[in-house]
């Protein structure tokens, strides 16, 4: 694998230019005519020779002598010639190890989802929750979040209405870990936070399904039954060995509000523990961006607006501000239209430049689906004239263009992970 600490870029051979330093091929060096492993391109003949043997290479920007390269530095899962549209794909600073992290993220995600489904089934027949297995899964999730948070954040877009309870619990765990990492929490704190987040809704398994899945507004009596899930979950796990007081507090307090109008105890402000205030935010964020039998989903962009509007009501204002900072003005999964007319989906945020995330372009300026999706980093320095830099014109509703965001992210994630496996075999 490539050392992700260096500034490598994946470049298709058709986009190579003299002055670039080729550090890695898409195949072993042995069996190619190139004398040295790593060389600077000095002639068109070298590029022509690379074209005979490779589809793409990895370029070391630090060793290259060309600046502001206008080239397709693509993090695509499907190697091949880049698709030409009205927007140039410029200098995407992609992590060459991302596919490696995605592969493990997919495996951990599948294991965690299976575990949640298992404890749901066990709880329905009176079996105890395996806290030790839950702790082990959270440790794996924490390691992945620390190594490359975007891999798991991608997977929070894989929403399925028929699997809401299990997917929601997993997403809340991932988002809480990501948020906690952004706040500077250490590994122990992340594990405690993540465990509480993973199990935060365990009490809902004791709430009648006809209430949980009711498509209409709950009656006052039904709402009182629903509210009991926090204490039901707390009572279910309060004597379990290995579950800390901090993790238990999340299960009990994640529906408390800083204005004192939450439940079960009507706690106010800093009377609510930090972990519960964090989970309160990510719980609502994932819930409102998910389709349910009783409500339609809203975009990640609008979900952040909803949370911001209720700061100092339901949510801790400082934590809301931090959450918006780390999720970005245009969070992952947000569908947008560029001023060029092209349509894309946010795949990675830029915490220093919130208006310039990385996008996966999926439609051209005529609103036709691209045969091959491509990535564009709006924060790239490759545009010599700032007025030429594409900018986000507006947030769109994916359904207006018949775009399935869940399917898109699922396909991309699997393809990226598969590409990593293929590259590993070549090495």
Q: What is the pLDDT of residue 293?
A: 59
**pLDDT over 90 for what percent of the chain?**
44
Regarding whether 281 and 405 lie in a shared domain, the answer is no
The tokens of 355 are what? 């208006």
**Cα Dmax for the chain:** 78
Query: What CA–CA distance (Å, rounded) separates 183 from 155?
Result: 21
Residue 82 in this model has a pLDDT that exceeds 50: no
Q: pLDDT higher for 21 or 345?
A: 345
Residue 151 falls within a domain, yes or no? yes
Q: What is the pLDDT of residue 419?
A: 62
> Residue 382 — pLDDT band, cuts 50, 70, 90?
low
Regarding whether 272 and 391 lie in a shared domain, the answer is no
Cα–Cα nearest to 230, from 269, 265, 274, 281:
265
Spatial CB neighbours of 247, under 8 Å, sequence gap ≥ 6: 192, 193, 195, 196, 199, 275
Spatial CB neighbours of 79, under 8 Å, sequence gap ≥ 6: 12, 26, 55, 56, 419
Residue 327 falls within a domain, yes or no? no
Residue where a domain terminates, one of 320, 351, 366: 320
Residue 68 falls within a domain, yes or no? no
Q: How many domains does the chain have?
A: 3
Regarding whether 289 and 212 lie in a shared domain, the answer is yes
Regarding whether 232 and 148 lie in a shared domain, the answer is yes
Please report the DSSP string for 106-153 in residue order.
HHHHHHHHHHHHHHHHHHHTTPPP-HHHHHHHHHHHHHHHHH-HHHHH
Regarding whether 119 and 152 lie in a shared domain, the answer is yes
Regarding whether 295 and 189 lie in a shared domain, the answer is yes
> Which residue range forms the structural domain that includes residue 352?
335-426
| pLDDT (tens digit per residue) in 304-320 | 999 999 999 999 999 99
Q: What is the pLDDT of residue 295?
A: 64
Q: What is the pLDDT of residue 162?
A: 64
What's the pTM value of the predicted model, to 2 decimals? 0.76
Q: What is the pLDDT of residue 369?
A: 92
Regarding whether 403 and 308 lie in a shared domain, the answer is no
Regarding whether 175 and 152 lie in a shared domain, the answer is yes
Query: What CA–CA distance (Å, rounded) separates 186 from 136?
Result: 17
Residue 170 falls within a domain, yes or no? yes
Q: What is the pLDDT of residue 3?
A: 39
Query: What CA–CA distance (Å, rounded) separates 373 from 270?
Result: 46
| Residue 319 Cα distances to 76, 201, 257, 314, angstroms | 35, 21, 13, 11
**pLDDT over 70 for what percent of the chain?**
85
CATH number of the domain residue 215 falls in: 1.10.3210.10
| pLDDT (tens digit per residue) in 202-234 | 999 889 989 988 888 899 999 999 999 999 999
> Residue 411 — pLDDT band, cuts 50, 70, 90?
confident
Cα–Cα nearest to 156, from 372, 406, 412:
406
Query: What CA–CA distance (Å, rounded) separates 404 from 320?
Result: 28
Regarding whether 240 and 158 lie in a shared domain, the answer is yes
Q: What is the pLDDT of residue 349?
A: 83
Q: Mean pLDDT in the chain?
A: 83
Residue 313 falls within a domain, yes or no? yes
Instruction: State whether the Cα torsion 369-371-375-381 is positive or negative.
Output: negative
Residue 35 in this model has a pLDDT that exceeds 70: no
Q: What is the pLDDT of residue 44?
A: 83
> Residue 85 — pLDDT band, cuts 50, 70, 90?
very low
Residue 81 falls within a domain, yes or no? no
Regarding whether 31 and 143 lie in a shared domain, the answer is no
Residue where a domain terminates, one of 288, 320, 352: 320
Query: What CA–CA distance (Å, rounded) separates 59 from 69?
Result: 12
Q: If residue 323 lies in a helix (H) or strand (E), which one and from where to where? A: helix 317-327
Output b/e per residue, 143-164; b: 16+ Cβ within 10 A: ebbeebbbbbbbbbbbbeeeeb
Cα–Cα nearest to 150, from 92, 78, 95, 198:
95
Residue 70 falls within a domain, yes or no? no
Q: What is the pLDDT of residue 393?
A: 94
Under a CB-based contact definition with an 8 Å cutoff, are residues 137 and 108 in contact? yes
The tokens of 38 are what? 């790593």
Find tokens 């043997």 and name the residue.
Answer: 53
Residue 76 falls within a domain, yes or no? no
| Among the ranges given (37-46, 59-68, 200-209), the one the predictor scored with the smallest mean pLDDT | 59-68
């Amino acid at each position: 694998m490539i050392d992700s600490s260096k500034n490598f870029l994946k470049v298709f051979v058709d986009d190579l230019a003299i002055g670039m330093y080729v550090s890695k091929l898409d195949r072993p060096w042995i069996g190619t005519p190139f004398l040295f492993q790593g060389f600077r391109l000095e002639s068109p003949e070298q590029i022509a020779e690379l074209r005979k043997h490779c589809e793409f290479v990895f370029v070391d920007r630090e060793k290259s002598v060309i600046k502001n390269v206008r080239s397709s530095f693509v993090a695509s899962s499907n190697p091949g010639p880049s698709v030409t549209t009205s927007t140039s794909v410029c200098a995407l600073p992609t992590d060459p190890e991302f596919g490696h992290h995605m592969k493990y993220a997919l495996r951990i995600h599948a294991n965690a989802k299976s575990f949640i489904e298992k404890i749901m089934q066990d709880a329905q027949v009176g079996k105890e929750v395996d806290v030790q297995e839950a702790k082990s899964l959270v440790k794996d999730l924490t390691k992945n979040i620390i190594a490359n948070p975007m891999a798991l954040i991608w997977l929070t877009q894989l929403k399925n209405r028929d699997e809401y309870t299990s997917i929601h619990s997993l997403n809340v765990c991932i988002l809480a870990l990501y948020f906690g990492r952004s706040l500077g929490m250490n590994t122990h704190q992340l594990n405690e936070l993540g465990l509480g987040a993973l199990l935060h809704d365990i009490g809902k398994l004791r709430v009648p399904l006809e209430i949980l899945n009711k498509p209409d507004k709950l009656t006052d009596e039904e709402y009182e039954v629903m509210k009991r899930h926090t204490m039901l979950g707390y009572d279910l796990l309060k004597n379990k060995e290995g579950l800390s007081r901090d993790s238990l507090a999340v299960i009990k307090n994640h529906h408390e509000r800083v204005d004192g109008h939450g439940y079960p105890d009507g706690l106010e402000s800093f009377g609510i523990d930090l972990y519960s205030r964090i989970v309160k935010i990510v719980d609502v964020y994932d819930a409102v961006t998910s389709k349910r039998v009783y409500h339609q989903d809203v975009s990640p962009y609008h979900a952040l607006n909803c949370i911001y509007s209720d700061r100092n009501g339901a949510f801790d204002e400082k934590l809301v501000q931090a959450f918006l900072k780390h999720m970005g003005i245009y969070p992952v999964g947000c569908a947008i239209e560029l001023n060029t007319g092209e349509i894309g989906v946010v795949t990675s945020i830029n915490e220093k430049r919130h208006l310039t995330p990385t996008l996966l372009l999926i439609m051209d300026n005529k609103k036709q689906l691209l045969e091959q999706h491509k990535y564009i980093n709006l924060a790239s320095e490759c545009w010599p004239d700032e007025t030429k830099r594409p900018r986000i014109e507006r947030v769109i509703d994916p359904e207006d263009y018949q775009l399935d965001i869940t399917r898109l992210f699922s396909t991309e994630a699997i393809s990226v992970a598969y590409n990593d496996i293929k590259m590993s075999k070549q090495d």
